């Protein structure tokens, strides 16, 4: 029996290089070793986008097209939308009853987001419970493991705590899932800050070659390098870190050219744009093919929800039995 994993992404915008490197390429690799569930976390997205949710459904389809284009294979993995599998919310309610407020108020991601995100009012009932729903997402499949980024570790810890508390109160129902923390190369946005749609510093998987060229040309480079004749410092240059990920064969050469002042930053960024365009070309071709036939995506999601539902219904029946001793 293969071990089971679940992961998810919120449909809040177009996917970018950070999603490819940080999640999708790992998800794609895990598909043979594990029984995989990949979820569009639309309820979680609504928690922050509730004031303007009109594009969310579109982003969901668009994101799934990118997932498939990046190698997530609906024949191997179950791909579905969270809100189409109702048991996530039912289990969320059970967990809400047993999760002490203090666990949620103390959660570092909660405190951080409340402080940092100023353009949205996140002081809502649902947002405090964000990790409870995430625990339900994971445990409703009794997942053994969850591929996530470092930033999600507090949520996984809470998931284990909730599982433990449930099992302690009602008898053993849930496993305590592990994180799968694969090595993820650090990719910053074009301005050197964290790559994020809200900073407008992303290169999207669906960007055309001319947009990629334009965005790449705007990237910040080694600030200590003023003239072409100044030697550069590739190890602290954001552009160079992209070479490490997207054109590792050229990396040594570029490093040499840069420290010996034999390559200008403009040209260096042109070459990088070419490498990005080449990397994304097959993904974009597949994406365009898939998007030509949206009914196929809808069918994949409907099948996914059905397969997911088989498991979640079983879990909820054992949860009801455990809690109500019925
Ligand atoms: N919180 C995750 C994120 O923002 C998305 C998510 C929702 C998730 N439910 C999940 C991730 C369950 C892993 C497992 O990235
Ligand atoms: Fe960075 Fe390339 Fe300029 Fe060197 S040549 S500083 S690696 S952009």
Q: Which CATH number characterizes residue 157's domain?
A: 3.40.50.620
Query: Which residues have a Cβ under 8 Å from the Cβ of 88 and sit 6 or more positions away?
Result: 43, 82, 133, 136, 137, 140, 312
Ligand 2 center to 232 CA (angstroms): 6
Beta-bridged to residue 6, according to DSSP, are 37
Can you read off the two tokens belonging to residue 139? 């445990």
Residues 170 and 246 in one domain: no
Residues 120 and 221 in one domain: no
Residues 50 and 159 in one domain: yes
pLDDT of residue 6: 98
Q: Does residue 110 lie within any of the structural domains?
A: yes
Residues 216 and 175 in one domain: no
Q: Does residue 74 lie within any of the structural domains?
A: yes
Residues 69 and 155 in one domain: yes
Length of the chain, in residues? 326
Q: Does residue 36 lie within any of the structural domains?
A: yes
Q: Which atom of ligand 1 is nearest to the CA of 44?
A: 7
pLDDT of residue 184: 81
Domain with residue 250: its CATH number is: 1.10.240.10
- Other beta carbons within 10 Å of 59: 20
Residues 242 and 180 in one domain: no
Cα distance between residue 185 and residue 218, in whole Å: 21
The response to whether residue 41 sits with its C-beta less than 6 Å from ligand 1 reads: yes
- Determine contact, residues 243/254, Cβ cutoff 8 Å: yes
Q: Does residue 282 lie within any of the structural domains?
A: yes
The response to whether residue 137 sits with its C-beta less than 6 Å from ligand 1 reads: yes
Q: Find tokens 């433990």 and name the residue.
A: 164
Ligand 1 center to 276 CA (angstroms): 27
Ligand 2 center to 231 CA (angstroms): 9
Residues 314 and 252 in one domain: no
pLDDT of residue 279: 97
The response to whether residue 82 sits with its C-beta less than 6 Å from ligand 1 reads: no
Pocket of ligand 2 (CB under 6 A): 221-222, 225, 232, 234, 237, 239-240, 254, 258, 263, 265, 268-269
pLDDT of residue 63: 98
pLDDT of residue 15: 98
Q: Does residue 197 lie within any of the structural domains?
A: no
> Domain limits at 215?
207-287
pLDDT of residue 186: 83
Residues 9 and 66 in one domain: yes
Q: Does residue 195 lie within any of the structural domains?
A: no
Q: Which atom of ligand 1 is nearest to the CA of 137?
A: 12
Q: Which atom of ligand 1 is nearest to the CA of 147?
A: 13
Q: Does residue 169 lie within any of the structural domains?
A: yes
Ligand 1 center to 40 CA (angstroms): 9
What domain count does the chain have?
A: 2
pLDDT of residue 185: 83
Q: Does residue 218 lie within any of the structural domains?
A: yes
Residues 270 and 315 in one domain: no
Instruction: For the chain, 326 residues long, give each residue's pLDDT as a single digit of tens.
Output: 899 999 999 999 999 999 999 999 999 999 999 999 999 999 999 999 999 999 999 999 999 999 999 999 999 999 999 999 999 999 999 999 999 999 999 999 999 999 988 899 999 999 999 999 999 999 999 999 999 988 999 999 999 999 999 999 999 999 999 999 977 888 999 999 999 988 999 999 999 999 999 999 999 999 999 998 999 999 999 999 999 999 999 999 999 999 999 999 999 999 999 999 999 999 999 999 999 999 999 999 999 999 999 999 999 999 999 999 87
User: How far is the CA of 177 from the CAs of 22, 89, 132, 321, in angstroms?
Assistant: 20, 19, 14, 22
């Amino acid at each position: 029996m293969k071990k089971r994993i679940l992961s998810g992404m919120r449909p809040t915008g177009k996917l970018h290089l950070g999603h490819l490197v940080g999640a999708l390429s790992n998800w794609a690799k895990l598909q043979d070793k594990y029984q995989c569930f990949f979820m569009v976390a639309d309820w979680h997205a609504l928690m922050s986008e509730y004031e303007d949710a009109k594009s969310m459904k579109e982003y969901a389809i668009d994101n799934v097209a990118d997932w498939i284009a990046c190698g997530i294979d609906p024949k191997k993995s179950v791909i579905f939308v969270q809100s189409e599998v109702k048991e996530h919310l039912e289990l969320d309610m059970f967990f809400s009853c047993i999760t002490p407020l203090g666990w949620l108020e103390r959660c570092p991601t909660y405190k951080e987001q409340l402080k940092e995100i100023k353009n949205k009012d996140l002081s809502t009932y649902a947002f405090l419970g964000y990790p409870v729903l995430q625990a339900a997402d994971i445990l409703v499949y009794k997942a053994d493991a969850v591929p996530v980024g470092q930033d999600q570790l507090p949520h996984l810890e809470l998931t284990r705590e909730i599982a433990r508390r449930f099992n302690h109160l009602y008898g053993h129902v849930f496993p305590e899932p592990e994180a799968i923390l694969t090595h993820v190369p650090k990719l910053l946005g074009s301005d050197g800050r964290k790559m994020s749609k809200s900073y407008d510093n992303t290169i999207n998987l669906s960007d055309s070659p001319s947009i990629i060229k334009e965005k790449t040309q705007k990237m910040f480079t080694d600030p200590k390098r003023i003239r072409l004749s100044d030697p550069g410092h590739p190890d602290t240059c954001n552009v160079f870190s992209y070479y490490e990920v997207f054109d590792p064969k050229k990396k040594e050469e570029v490093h040499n050219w840069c420290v010996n002042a034999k390559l200008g930053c403009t040209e260096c960024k042109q070459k990088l744009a070419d490498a990005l365009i080449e990397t994304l070309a097959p993904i974009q071709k597949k994406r365009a093919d898939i998007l030509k036939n949206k009914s196929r995506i809808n069918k994949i999601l409907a099948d996914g929800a059905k397969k997911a539902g088989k498991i979640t219904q079983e879990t909820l029946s054992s949860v009801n039995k455990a809690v109500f001793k019925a």
